Amino acid sequence: MSNILIIDDEKAIRKTLSEILSYEGYKIDEAGDGEEGLKKLREKEFDVVLCDIKMPKVDGLEFLEKSKDINADTPIIMISGHGTIETAVEAVKKGAYDYISKPPDLNRLLITIRNAMDKNQLVAETKVLKRRVSKVQEMIGESEPIKRIKDTIEKVAPTEARILITGENGAGKELVARWVHEKSPRAAGPLVEVNCAAIPSELIESELFGHEKGSFTSAIKQRIGKFEQANGGTLFLDEIGDMSANAQSKVLRALQEGKITRVGGDKDISVDVRVIAATNKDLLKEVEEKNFRLDLYHRLSVIIIHVPSLNERKDDIPLLVDKFLADVCADYGIAKKAIDKDAITALQQHDWTGNIRELRNVVERLIILSGKAITRDDVESYVLPKK
Ligand SMILES: Nc1ncnc2c1ncn2[C@@H]1O[C@H](COP(=O)(O)OP(=O)(O)OP(=O)(O)O)[C@@H](O)[C@H]1O
Ligand SMILES: [Mg+2]
């Protein structure tokens, strides 16, 4: 059932509108002036607001303006008296959905309300869809390290240089890789990901280079590997520090010669692939400990982009929290939740071992568990005591 808020200082008008709309099945709240209207808007979600123009205390135009800070998406329909048509037109220019004249024509009133609701639903759906469709998430942050990373991406993306991305779990390495691809001339080509840590070592070669039918027991049909799939695009080798020695030497060959051979095959296949690798390990230490080939390391690390941990850029936390509040609430189809300043301060004091991924999960948890707004108490009870 849809909620409508009627704001008018004339009790008789509120009563008439309320009766008509209740009869149509809407749930009605009333307010006698803009100030009371704003209070109701803060307390509850409305699908449509009907708002008179001339009112004591806060008038219709001021209500319209202030309501945007509370819930920018709720459509507002102005109710215009004889002397206020011009103001009503101005209100529409300032973002009101439409206006109706007093005394309201029943049909026009109902149609306008229904259209406003339809439009609002479309806007909400479009927002969700847009976020699903848009290929790469925005990279949030204005701290020095993030600015430097964005700057580096701008410079290296247009080139063919191989890139090694380092950083802790959840710091945003994959996001960097996606942006490099997106801003490169290969953006129209595929971005193919391989998580080297997730694939058993005996299968990684077949995963990367493919295999011919019958080349080993379970190879019941031919398979195209990730290098071939990424032809013309970018291959993202995630967790490269976990790659087996055997696979390392084959990858090295592929990088040196631009050619691969399918497992069990005898043909060389040329591939045009830009490789971006990522790791949360200290690869040079792995080299020292003979777990990683030095020559491969050099091939991969023409450019190194280090993504700092969240603890090193806590200045970005307010922006990130704001973004995650918006994203998660949009996913849940609810209005964006407010968060107190000192709750954000408390989040900045937290030790973020799981980095941005952990922050996003924490924001989601707070949205679910907190009351009307997220408070410092919420942070203290749901986030901090982890030990
Ligand atoms: N600067 C940022 N702004 C907004 N979201 C970000 C940012 N950095 C990372 N994220 C988000 O945080 C999550 C973790 O990022 P990502 O997967 O890129 O981390 P990772 O370093 O690859 O982690 P892992 O080592 O665990 O694979 C993702 O949902 C990503 O979209
Ligand atoms: Mg990753």
pLDDT, tens only, 324-343:
999 999 988 889 999 999 99
Q: Which ligand neighbours the alpha carbon of 322 most closely?
A: 1
Mutate to test the pocket of ligand 1, among 132, 136, 174, 193 (most ligand atoms within 8 A of CB): 174
Residue identifier of the C-alpha nearest atom 28 of ligand 1: 357
Look at residue 24 in the predicted model and tell me its pLDDT.
Answer: 93
CA 384 – CA 62 distance, rounded (Å): 41
pLDDT tens string 42-72: 999 899 999 999 998 899 999 999 998 888 8
Between CA 155 and CA 162, with CA 161 as vertex, the angle to 5 degrees is: 120
Could you give phi then psi for residue 195, rounded to 5 degrees? -95, 100
Percent of the chain at pLDDT exceeding 90? 76
- Is residue 263 within 8 A of residue 209, CB to CB? The reply is yes
Ligand 2 centroid to residue 178 C-alpha, Å: 11
Percent of the chain at pLDDT exceeding 70? 97
Mutate to test the pocket of ligand 1, among 323, 356, 359, 364 (most ligand atoms within 8 A of CB): 356
Residue 130 has pLDDT above 70, yes or no: no
Ligand 1 centroid to residue 178 C-alpha, Å: 11
Ligand 1 centroid to residue 187 C-alpha, Å: 20
Q: Which ligand neighbours the alpha carbon of 170 most closely?
A: 1
Look at residue 387 in the predicted model and tell me its pLDDT.
Answer: 47
Ligand 1 centroid to residue 358 C-alpha, Å: 10
| Beta bridge mates, 366 | none
Look at residue 219 in the predicted model and tell me its pLDDT.
Answer: 77
Confidence of residue 367 (pLDDT cuts 50, 70, 90): very high
Look at residue 385 in the predicted model and tell me its pLDDT.
Answer: 56
CA 177 – CA 341 distance, rounded (Å): 33
Residue identifier of the C-alpha nearest atom 9 of ligand 1: 172
Look at residue 218 in the predicted model and tell me its pLDDT.
Answer: 76
Q: Which atom of ligand 1 is the closest one to the Cα of 173?
A: 21
CA 28 – CA 46 distance, rounded (Å): 9
Between CA 8 and CA 18, with CA 14 as vertex, the angle to 5 degrees is: 135
Alpha carbon dihedral 358, 360, 363, 364, in 10-degree steps, equals: -110
Ligand 2 centroid to residue 37 C-alpha, Å: 47
CA 179 – CA 150 distance, rounded (Å): 9
| Beta bridge mates, 224 | 210
Q: In a 10 Å sphere around its CB, with 0-12 CB exposed, 13-18 middle and 19+ buried, how is residue 21 labelled?
A: buried
Mutate to test the pocket of ligand 1, among 165, 239, 276, 357 (most ligand atoms within 8 A of CB): 357
Give me the helix-helix angle, 173-182 and 144-156, nearest 10°. 40
Look at residue 132 in the predicted model and tell me its pLDDT.
Answer: 60
pLDDT tens string 225-261: 999 999 999 999 999 999 988 889 999 999 999 999 9
Q: Residue range 345-356: average pLDDT?
A: 95
Q: Residue range 209-214: average pLDDT?
A: 89
- Is residue 101 within 8 A of residue 84, CB to CB? The reply is no
Ligand 2 centroid to residue 339 C-alpha, Å: 29
Ligand 2 centroid to residue 219 C-alpha, Å: 29
**DSSP H or E segment with residue 177:** helix 173-182
Q: Which ligand neighbours the alpha carbon of 317 most closely?
A: 1
Return residues with CB closer than 5 A to ligand 2 (ion). 174
Look at residue 384 in the predicted model and tell me its pLDDT.
Answer: 65
Q: Which ligand neighbours the alpha carbon of 175 most closely?
A: 1
Residue 200 has pLDDT above 60, yes or no: yes
Mutate to test the pocket of ligand 1, among 166, 169, 175 (most ligand atoms within 8 A of CB): 175
* The pair of three-digit structure tokens given for residue 263, joined into one six-digit string: 């497992």
The alpha carbons of the chain give a radius of gyration, in whole angstroms, of 29
Look at residue 134 in the predicted model and tell me its pLDDT.
Answer: 61
The secondary structure of 217-239 as a DSSP string is TT--S-EE-HHHHTTTSEEEEET
Pocket of ligand 1 (CB under 6 A): 137, 139-141, 167, 169-175, 280, 320, 356-357, 360
Average pLDDT of the chain is: 92
Residue 135 has pLDDT above 80, yes or no: no
Residue 133 has pLDDT above 70, yes or no: no
Q: Which atom of ligand 1 is the closest one to the Cα of 177?
A: 18
Q: Which atom of ligand 1 is the closest one to the Cα of 280?
A: 25
Ligand 1 centroid to residue 239 C-alpha, Å: 14
CA 35 – CA 19 distance, rounded (Å): 23
pTM over 0.85: no
pLDDT tens string 6-32: 999 999 999 999 999 999 999 999 999
- Is residue 372 within 8 A of residue 378, CB to CB? The reply is no
